[in-house]
Structure 1
Amino acid sequence: MTALRALCILGPTGSGKTEAALCLAERLPVTVINFDSRQLYADFPVITAQPEAHEQAACPHRLYGFLPTAESMTAARFAELAREEIARCLAEKRVPVLVGGTGLYVRALERGLADIPPVPQEVRAWVLSRMDAEGPNALHADLAQSDPETASRLHPNDTQRIARALEVLLGTGRTLSEWIREQKSTEPGVMLRKIGVSATLGELEPRLNLRIGNMLERGALNELREAWLRTPDRSAPGYSGIGCAELLAHVLGETDLDEARRLWFRNTRAYAKRQLTWFAKEGGVRWVRNEGFSRLHELAEGWEGHP
């Protein structure tokens, strides 16, 4: 089976990846394919910074805003969906351009997934009972002791992934990060030409603060309230994302809006820092800064997947 090919624009949150993709679309027949785990959710287009309507009108956009709040997304399922979209793009003689910041999704596409043995149901039940009793922050602290590599890329409110990492450790005797390093695939990985949008944490901080203010002005709080009316379940996976968790605490009367915004910025900054660390270790990335976006099309020249 011939390996699929795609361009991939990666980088930390707030660095300008959507802008980069649209610059590329001015020169090439691009279809943008999302690989941000939070931008999959239908209820939170503003909070998760999904491309706005005028941006999505510039070229086809796939895998944005389709997942219900109550559903989770695994890296395996994402890889399957993304492969389908990439194959569709190539069949249409378009350039598939993955855009996002979830590093594990890139790894799943390139290398396949770890062949982790099934975890006994009683182990999973015990972890979930602890999650209900003690909350995600306590379990995240445990994970930081036993598997710091995995803990460093997970938000302390990400109940689904924290629970998964702990149940893998307890059920197999090995950390999730160890399994990931031994990833295998039964089909060829996607060949990616990776373009990284470069920005320092100091450069990102004012952008992130401004973006949160813009999100609130665009109705982020009402977006969360409406989602809660549809899915009044705090354990629903969609609420674990940064921004959603902090605004939900405000909607439920646990904090005022100023504190929710402060925590939203703090947690976004921490996430950007984790992304910078992750992508710094990513091999084969061609890094560009915002001022170099006009030349992005040059990185696609000679690429075998270019139609």
Structure 2
Amino acid sequence: MADLRAVCILGPTGSGKTGAALALARELPVTVVNYDSRQVYTDFPIVTAQPDERERAMCPHELYGFLPTAQAMTAARFAELARAEIVKAREQGRLPVLVGGTGLYLRALEQGLADIPPVPQEVRDWVLGRMEREGTVVLHADLAKADPPTAARLHPNDTQRIARALEVFLGTGRPLSAWFEDQKHGQTGVELCKVGLSFTLRELEPGLKKRIDVMLGLGAVDEMRRAWEATPDRAAPGYSGIGCAELLAHLLDGMDLAEACGLWLRNTRAYAKRQLTWFAKEQQVHWVRPEGLGRLPDLVRSWDSGPV
């Protein structure tokens, strides 16, 4: 039977999850597996803060930067891909370490997915038609009335997931959050040792601004310009991430770069706040402050030496 156990480092954007994983890699044979829904895209390594060449050289990194901007990633597909990477790492004698910030992906991997009936095509077409005519902000407001928990975790620019949540509500008569409540626990059989990086939003804020400044210095604007030249479609799933919409507003709509970056920072802060709320509800998490990261290897060794 395949060994479906993995360490998972969770925490809000900018909390140093990659650094924590690499600290483990200095003492243990680690394979890092991405579970961030934005870092799967090929065209945005800078804007989505994917590990750089130096970091990747320290250990294998999987599920980063492989998806074209025009393609969508679902939680179900992620769970399938991540399971395969966990099995492969174990077969190679390596410790799989999940790193990212998309709580839904983590839930799909650990608990399985809700058995949602197929949504009629006419419902999908109607939602997408409204999305095109009225925009994501209007539909996000509708979702907030129909399914407050789902709307609270989605950014108003997240076209793909807003549309999906509304499709489910209209097509099944139940909000997406209710379906998730009914999902079958343990369906995927993945056992996780969850390590949470503990920060307050106030502690994160200075680093979030610096992070955007670093991305700009690395060429984030040019990266977005090249992505747009390759995929000139604002509705493409890859553009739904924070940073993409703001830079496109600068490149396509004439928004001043400083204004775009201010909006980028505000949206990043709001996202970090939603992540803090989401992860605070996770069960059986070993919360660690930055000064306590030195005990991570021993914690993981103790967990990984247990029965399979």
TM over 0.5: yes
Other-structure match for 1:94 = 94
Aligned partner letter, 1:45: P
Aligned partner letter, 1:219: G
Other-structure match for 1:142 = 142
Structure 2: unaligned runs, 5 residues or longer: none
Contact 2:242 2:268 in 1 (8 A): yes
Q: Secondary structure at the match of 1:221?
A: helix
Other-structure match for 2:77 = 77
1:187 to partner: Cα distance: 4.9
Other-structure match for 2:10 = 10
Aligned partner letter, 1:100: G
1:18 to partner: Cα distance: 0.6
Other-structure match for 1:56 = 56
Other-structure match for 1:231 = 231
Cα distance, 1:115–1:3 mapped onto 2, change above 3 Å: farther
Structure 1: unaligned runs, 5 residues or longer: none
Aligned partner letter, 1:290: P
1:184 to partner: Cα distance: 2.4
Other-structure match for 2:296 = 296
Percent of aligned positions that are identical: 69
Q: Secondary structure at the match of 1:47?
A: coil
1:289 to partner: Cα distance: 1.4
Deviations, residues 259-293 of structure 1 (Å, cap 9, x unaligned): 10010000000000000000000001101111222
2:180 maps to 1:180: yes
Aligned partner letter, 2:5: R
Q: Following the alignment from structure 1 to structure 2, what is the Cα–Cα distance between the partners of residues 203 and 137? A: 29
CA RMSD of aligned residues (A): 1.4
Aligned partner letter, 1:105: Y
Q: Following the alignment from structure 2 to structure 1, what is the Cα–Cα distance between the partners of residues 235 and 33? A: 28
Q: How does the TM-score come out when normalised to structure 2?
A: 0.97
1:19 to partner: Cα distance: 0.6
Cα distance, 1:3–1:58 mapped onto 2, change above 3 Å: closer
Q: Secondary structure at the match of 1:96?
A: strand
Q: Following the alignment from structure 1 to structure 2, what is the Cα–Cα distance between the partners of residues 137 and 259? A: 19
Aligned partner letter, 2:302: G
Matches within 5 A, 1:76-225: 76-184=76-184, 187-225=187-225
Contact 1:7 1:195 in 2 (8 A): yes
Cα distance, 1:254–1:140 mapped onto 2, change above 3 Å: farther
Contact 1:6 1:193 in 2 (8 A): yes
Q: Following the alignment from structure 2 to structure 1, what is the Cα–Cα distance between the partners of residues 22 and 71? A: 30
Contact 2:111 2:186 in 1 (8 A): no
Contact 2:36 2:102 in 1 (8 A): yes
Contact 1:2 1:188 in 2 (8 A): no
Q: How does the TM-score come out when normalised to structure 1?
A: 0.97
Q: Following the alignment from structure 1 to structure 2, what is the Cα–Cα distance between the partners of residues 178 and 76? A: 17
1:214 to partner: Cα distance: 0.6
Other-structure match for 1:24 = 24
1:63 to partner: Cα distance: 0.4
Deviations, residues 124-169 of structure 1 (Å, cap 9, x unaligned): 0000000000000110011111111001111100000000000000
Other-structure match for 2:255 = 255
Contact 2:3 2:87 in 1 (8 A): no
1:88 to partner: Cα distance: 0.0
1:188 to partner: Cα distance: 3.6
Contact 1:6 1:305 in 2 (8 A): no
Other-structure match for 1:277 = 277
Q: Secondary structure at the match of 2:302?
A: coil
1:303 to partner: Cα distance: 2.1
Aligned partner letter, 2:82: A
Q: Following the alignment from structure 1 to structure 2, what is the Cα–Cα distance between the partners of residues 40 and 2? A: 25
Q: Following the alignment from structure 1 to structure 2, what is the Cα–Cα distance between the partners of residues 19 and 304? A: 20
Q: Following the alignment from structure 2 to structure 1, what is the Cα–Cα distance between the partners of residues 192 and 140? A: 32
Contact 2:29 2:95 in 1 (8 A): yes
1:29 to partner: Cα distance: 0.3
Other-structure match for 2:66 = 66
Q: Following the alignment from structure 1 to structure 2, what is the Cα–Cα distance between the partners of residues 217 and 47? A: 11
Other-structure match for 2:36 = 36
Q: Secondary structure at the match of 1:303?
A: helix
